């Protein structure tokens, strides 16, 4: 059963977990609940640090729900679906709390966007990445600004155009997407817990100001990402994309 849930420790560390039985893919409802959970944690005075994670021990996130994509019949529905990714990214961006990412396995499409939208990302060596959007006739338009901000133009171009092959977790680490890399999820979780606790004991005002510095120059993203959602919403209606999505399913 799909869900988004938040658990906050006595020390102010909030873990936001999303799960979907289809490799943690992201249908509209999960995107909506995830954005709301991030906003709520950011406003909660008891929360000092946020950890964003997915359920299960394999895929971190398979990206957009192909099942839902194939049901889109008009531009407004397409725009609305892809706007869900925009809202999640902007929720991470404007949240006043530092967000740590936990990536235990492969990240595809929107999953790469999520990993790019946190402030500090932990991953295992199983966490290969792929931007598969072009392979189905779309393109990583909505998540693109977040990914580009993290890994730079050259790596983003490689990831975007080579849409059918995974790049290794080591590649993602070398290019700045992952901050720290671990052999096992257990080792990663130990490191996340220690780091989150250390940050929770830091000056919250300083952390909030640092968050603003990290995201400086992105104030226009509220408008930009919605425009990008329109691009994807139009392309998903094309004959090419409809055939490609059917083939993938």
Task: Give the residue from 12, 22, 27 showing the smallest Cα distance to 200.
Answer: 12
pTM: 0.97
CA atoms within 13 A on the CB side of 189: 8
Torsion angle in degrees (nearest 10) through CA of 134, 227, 28, 48: 110
218 belongs to a structural domain: no
Distance, C-alpha 57 to centroid of its chain: 17
232 belongs to a structural domain: no
236 belongs to a structural domain: no
Cβ of 241: how many Cβ atoms within 10 Å? 21
Structural tokens at position 120 = 């500090």
Residue with more model confidence, 248 or 209: 209
- CA pair distance 3, 228, nearest whole angstrom: 27
pLDDT in tens, 138-179: 999 999 999 999 999 999 999 999 999 999 999 999 999 999
pLDDT at residue 246 in the model: 82
Average pLDDT, the chain: 96
Question: Which whole number is the average pLDDT over 109-138?
Answer: 97
3-class SS of residue 167: strand
240 belongs to a structural domain: no
Residues 6+ apart with CB under 8 A from 45: none
pLDDT at residue 247 in the model: 81
Q: How confident is the model at residue 217 (pLDDT cuts 50, 70, 90)?
A: very high
Domain range for residue 13? 3-184
Q: Is the pLDDT of residue 249 over 80?
A: no
Task: Please state, in angstroms and as integers, the Cα–Cα distance from residue 9 to each residue in 16, 133, 169, 176, following that order.
Answer: 12, 37, 30, 29
- CA pair distance 199, 85, nearest whole angstrom: 27
Q: Are 152 and 175 in contact (CB under 8 A)?
A: yes
Q: How many domains does the chain have?
A: 1
193 belongs to a structural domain: no
237 belongs to a structural domain: no
235 belongs to a structural domain: no
- CA pair distance 214, 118, nearest whole angstrom: 11
Residue with more model confidence, 105 or 246: 105
State the CATH number of the domain containing residue 136. 3.90.226.10
Question: Which whole number is the average pLDDT over 179-198?
Answer: 98
pLDDT in tens, 4-15: 999 999 999 999
Q: Is the pLDDT of residue 248 over 80?
A: no
Q: Is the pLDDT of residue 230 over 90?
A: yes
Task: Please state, in angstroms and as integers, the Cα–Cα distance from residue 115 to each residue in 12, 61, 118, 200, following that order.
Answer: 22, 9, 6, 21
214 belongs to a structural domain: no
């Amino acid at each position: 059963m799909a869900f988004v849930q938040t658990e906050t420790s006595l020390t102010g560390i909030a873990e936001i977990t999303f799960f979907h039985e289809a490799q943690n893919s992201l249908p509209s409802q999960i995107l909506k609940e995830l954005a709301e959970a991030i906003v709520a944690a950011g406003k909660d005075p008891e929360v000092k640090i946020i950890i964003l994670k997915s359920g299960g021990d394999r895929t971190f996130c398979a990206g957009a729900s192909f099942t839902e994509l194939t049901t889109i019949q008009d531009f407004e529905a397409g725009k609305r679906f892809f706007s869900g990714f925009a809202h999640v990214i902007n929720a991470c961006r404007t949240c006043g709390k530092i967000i740590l990412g936990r990536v235990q396995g492969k990240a595809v499409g929107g999953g790469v966007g999520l990993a790019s939208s946190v402030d500090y990302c932990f991953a295992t060596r199983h966490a290969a990445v792929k931007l598969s959007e072009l392979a189905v006739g779309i393109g990583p338009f909505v998540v693109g600004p977040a990914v580009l901000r993290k890994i730079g133009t050259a790596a983003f171009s490689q990831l975007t155009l080579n849409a059918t092959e995974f790049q290794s977790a080591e590649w993602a680490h070398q290019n700045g997407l992952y901050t720290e890399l671990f052999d096992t999820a257990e080792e990663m979780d130990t490191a996340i817990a220690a780091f989150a606790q250390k940050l929770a004991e830091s000056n919250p005002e300083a952390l909030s100001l640092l968050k603003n510095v990290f995201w400086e120059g992105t104030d226009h993203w509220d408008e930009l990402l919605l425009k990008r959602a329109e691009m994807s919403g139009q392309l998903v209606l094309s004959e090419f994309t409809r055939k490609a999505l059917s083939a993938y399913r």
